[in-house]
Chains A and B, each alone.
Chain A
Amino acid sequence: MATTVYLSNPALTINAVDLTDQATSATLTFAFDQLETTAFGQTARVFGASTVTSLQNNTFEVELYQSYAATETEASIYGLVGIQTDIEISPSAAGLATPSATAPKYTLTGAYLASHTPISATLGELSTITLTFTGGTLTKATS
């Protein structure tokens, strides 16, 4: 039985800009393309091999509060649409600066931001934006 309350509190940077205090959710998906290697004589479909030979196919989705103030969300994100950028994320703020086995730092290099919604407003609610970065190479640092 779990006896520890764990509050998710990761830290992240997008294009070297720390937007942790604007983020409310983040999902990093590490994936490789699934290549079928089934051959004659086999009785079930198989994928991959003993060594990974397919391409990484990573995604990173983050939800941020929108802010039009200087150097805040809009200023930091708008120019990234249509280009590649680097993302760093760790389960804790300490892990960004000093990665460890219990606070690894994940770096997604060359991720592509296809779209952004500069206006996403609903009456009476805080404005948020959801960004989906695709592609890029993911590395994990533990030291």
Chain B
Amino acid sequence: MAIYIVTSDRLAGFKRGDQLDAKDIDGDIEHLIEAGHISPQASKKSAKTKDTDTAKD
């Protein structure tokens, strides 16, 4: 589920910097993003490395 961070002081029931997901929001999410009240939180990429060594004998 997408996570959003509150980016304004006007979102009812939340403070700037709070994290929430879609089910916490009563309003239209697309419009709240457009109006600058919330912002989608970028998912962190895994630090796992991928072995791409394909050296042949």
Partner-B contacts on A (CB < 8 A): 13, 15-19, 70-72, 75-76, 78-80, 83, 85-86, 88, 96-97
Residues of A within 8 A of B12 (CB): 13, 16-18, 88, 96
Complex CA distance for A80 and B28, rounded to whole angstroms = 9
Q: Which of A15, A96, A97 is close to B32, meaning CB atoms less than 8 Å apart? A: A15
Contacts of B10 in A (CB 8 A): 17-19, 71-72, 76
Interface of B is mostly: loop
**Is B40 interfacial (CB 8 A cutoff)?**
no
> How far is A13 from B11 in the complex, measured between Cα atoms in Å?
9
Q: Is B53 positioned at the interface, with any CB of A under 8 Å from its CB?
A: no
Q: Can you list, as one digit per residue, whether each of B1-31 has a CB less than 8 Å from chain A (1) or not (0)?
A: 0000001111111000000000001111001
Determine if A15 and B28 form an interchain contact, defined as CB atoms under 8 angstroms apart: yes
- Count, chain B residues at interface, CB 8 A: 17
Q: How far is the CB of B50 from chain A (nearest CB, A)?
A: 41
CB nearest to B34 among chain A residues: A79
Q: Is the CB of B27 within 8 A of A85?
A: yes
Q: How far is the CA of A33 from the CA of B37 in the complex (A)?
A: 36
